[in-house]
Amino acid sequence: MNNQKETLTSAKVKQDSAPCATQAKQESREDVHAHIFSTSSSLQPREGNWSSLLNWLDVSPDALVIVNQTGQIMLVNDQVETLFGYQHSEFIGQPLEMLLPQRFHEAHVLHRERYAALPRTRPMGAGLELYGLRKDGTEVPVDISLSPLLVDGELYVLGAIRDITERRRLQEREHLARAEAEAQLELLQLILDELPTSVYLVQGEEARLVLANRAATAVWGATWQVGQSMQDFLTSNHIRVFNIHGEIFVPADLATLRAFQQNEKVQAYQESIRHEDGTIIPVLVNAVVLGQHFLPGVKVIVREDEKKEYYSDSAERFTLVVQQDVTESMELERRKDEFIAMASHELKTPVTSIKTYVQLLHRRLMQEGNEQSAQILTKVDMQLGTLTRLINELLDVTNMATGILSWHEEMFDLSHLVREVVEDLQRGTERHRIQIEGEVSIQIAADRERIGQVLSNLLTNAIKYTPQGGPIVVKQRLEEDKILLSVQDWGIGIPAEKQAQIFERFYRVRSPEHETFPGLGLGLYLSQEIVKRQGGRIWVESQAGEGSTFYFTLQAKPSFEKGKGDEE
Amino acid sequence: MKGRKQKTIFIVEDNAGVADALVLLLVEEGYHVDLWVQGTEVNLQPPFPDLILLDLLLGGRDGQTICRHIKDQETTRHIPVILMSANKNVPRIAQEAGADNWIMKPFELWNLLALLDASIGQRQLIFDQEVSE
């Protein structure tokens, strides 16, 4: 091969087995250029002569072959020799088919004849995979372009052959990588589809879908198209999402969008999805924002030609969303609540009857002057009061969970209520002295019984957690449009680390010294809910071993202050 | 105001325990008491009672419906009705049904007696006024 290179141009000019080469006229390079590269019309063969051709054949990076109308090879450049492994002399005068695998021969002859009839510059075998045949019998993938050529008035065809082995290899590798990534993603899809939990992946601020599993389609009641934004998906399918209170979600508050916008992990977010047909699916949503490096496969795979395409267009982050359909557990919860509500109601009936009997008996004993026995019945009655309160708490908590806490607003004098509650609780204890300080006689609009319930809860706690007895102080203070009430005791107090939790549902301070105190752990939770509902706030200041002060505020809504004693 | 002995109270209560305790109490208080244990039995004929103590949750016909009916009739509208219930929504229900007052179960004895006195007294005053006009 090195040999040939040395003799490159001269050899070809000398070896003029090419019949016309000898007649070549010397022309200036500019003329050659004008002739050969004339692109005036691709239908018109280019014109030139052999000598001008020889000047540029070897500068081409492609292998160039010139054949006559009968398909005989007239001229080749150096690259052809390199590509096919023949000596220059072995080509000349041979049929072009020597460079093609046997299987293409027959068809090629036909193609060649057809080309001769309508010669123009074009790629050969467009869309087909072309191969050349080397001298050693191996095949090489090639691209071929054809161009008609007029040399000294005669029509020839110039074929430019390019070895595309490397390109094919790269394509193949890319194809393989793509297939592998697709397979991985398909496997992922398969796994996700088998999950009972709804899972979907969205991209960017608008939450455009990348992929979703079957359960997601079931939860949404519609198919979310890949690339479709969440808002568009919801709107076009008439899907509405409600929060726990049955209010429609502002889009930005949806777990999926919220996680992305605030770049935070959203956990156990409650949403109710309503389909167009009215079906409601309550879900718990977890959403987490992922960096792009989590999904190397997704970006490669954008298959627009298939019905399943994976969307990805920029460096925007992804949000992975998992929805758990809680229809069943909600139903169980609902039945449990219903049961408790019914049970509470059923329990109250016998309590009513017992209470009436007890009070009746108490009155008789008093009339008979048997005060000692009457005292015992007072204690029974107190216990019945506790029982009633517990039943009510259970009922309230279950009702609160369903958002139907009964509320009956009326105007009343707060100081009267405070006095009533204090007197009621004082009756149940001899060791504690409940004092009222700073009485504010003010009419407020609220649920009298509920506010009484809060005060009663706080006082019950103060009594319960001051086992040694002592004073308990109830204070009222008017502050602009608010009334501040406080209940202070000097009992065992609450450790600082537990103060934040005491308002939680079913929470009870657990420590050796607290173990002996009974209760459901609902009182403070209910109190907080009631105070919040009234537009107020409840909090505690306490130190372990030194006692606690519970505060709560009430809005002094449309009200008019009354001077003390106006009522009497 | 007439003495308690001359006053008649109708109790509509389907729970035997509660009904029995109420009858015992009211009789001891000097009222004349009639008891219906079924909502469907309620059928008011003159002479009308001075007050009706009506349970909300009754078999057959609930207290709300009965109250509404009493308050819709020209002849019975004047009879004070007190709705009794363990339901926390009794204030609202009582208002909607046109009841004169309500009491939450379980109740304090003194509370019920005060309510009865007030309801009968109030009604009596209005009645006396109407008569005198």
Residues in chain B whose Cβ is within 8 Å of chain A: 15, 17-18, 20-22, 24-25, 28, 57, 86-89, 91-92, 105-109
- Average pLDDT of adjacent 10-residue blocks, chain A of 568 residues: 37 39 39 41 52 72 87 88 88 88 86 82 79 91 87 84 90 87 86 93 89 93 92 93 83 87 85 91 90 52 44 67 88 77 81 92 92 90 85 76 68 89 87 88 83 90 89 89 91 85 70 57 83 88 90 72 36
Backbone angles phi, psi at A357, to 5 degrees: -60, -45
Comparing CA positions, the residue from A138, A327, A321 lying closest to residue A230 is: A321
**Residue-level pLDDT at A488:** 95
Contacts of B107 (CB under 8 A, 6+ apart): A352, A355, A356, B84
What residue type is A481 in one-letter code? D
Q: Chain B closest CA to A409's CA: distance in Å?
A: 10
Q: Which of B18, B28, B88 sits opposite A353 (nearest CB)?
A: B18
Backbone angles phi, psi at A397, to 5 degrees: -65, -45
Comparing CA positions, the residue from A489, A500, A501, A491 lying closest to residue A549 is: A489
The verdict on A388 touching B (C-beta cutoff 8 Å) is yes
Q: How many CB atoms lie within 10 A of CB A1?
A: 9
Q: Chain A closest CA to B35's CA: distance in Å?
A: 15
The verdict on A406 touching B (C-beta cutoff 8 Å) is yes
CB A17 within 8 A of CB A93: yes
What angle (nearest 5°) sits at the alpha carbon of residue A247, between those of residues A241 and A251?
45
Task: Answer whether the bond into residue B46 is a cis peptide, omega within 30°.
Answer: no
CB B49 within 8 A of CB B71: no
- Burial of residue B24 (number of CB atoms within 10 Å: 0-12, 13-18, 19+): middle
Identify all chain B residues contacting A406, using CB atoms and an 8 Å cutoff: 88-89, 92
**Residue-level pLDDT at A212:** 93
CB A278 within 8 A of CB A240: no
CA distances to A321, A499, A520 from A454, rounded to whole Å, are: 41, 18, 15
Comparing CA positions, the residue from A55, A300, A90 lying closest to residue A174 is: A300
Backbone angles phi, psi at A482, to 5 degrees: -125, 155
Q: Containing H/E element for A48?
A: strand A46-48
d(CA B94, CA B59): 18
Q: Which of B22, B89, B106 sits opposite A351 (nearest CB)?
A: B106
CB A522 within 8 A of CB A397: yes
Paired tokens of A211: 């992929």
d(CA A398, CA A339): 10
The verdict on A329 touching B (C-beta cutoff 8 Å) is no
**pTM > 0.80: yes or no:** no
ipTM over 0.95? The verdict is no
Mutate to test the interface with A, among B24, B29, B109, B113 (most CBs of A within 10 A): B109
d(CA A384, CA A361): 15
d(CA A204, CA A263): 11
Q: Which of B15, B28, B88 sits opposite A360 (nearest CB)?
A: B28
* DSSP secondary structure code for residue A362 in this structure: H
The verdict on A386 touching B (C-beta cutoff 8 Å) is no
pLDDT greater at residue B9 or residue A303: B9
Contacts of A525 (CB under 8 A, 6+ apart): A397, A503, A504, A505, A506, A507
Q: Is B5's pLDDT higher than 70?
A: no
d(CA A363, CA A359): 6
The verdict on A348 touching B (C-beta cutoff 8 Å) is yes
d(CA A119, CA A44): 8
Task: Answer whether the bond into residue B47 is a cis peptide, omega within 30°.
Answer: yes
**Residue-level pLDDT at A195:** 92
d(CA A486, CA A440): 13
pLDDT greater at residue A95 or residue B61: A95
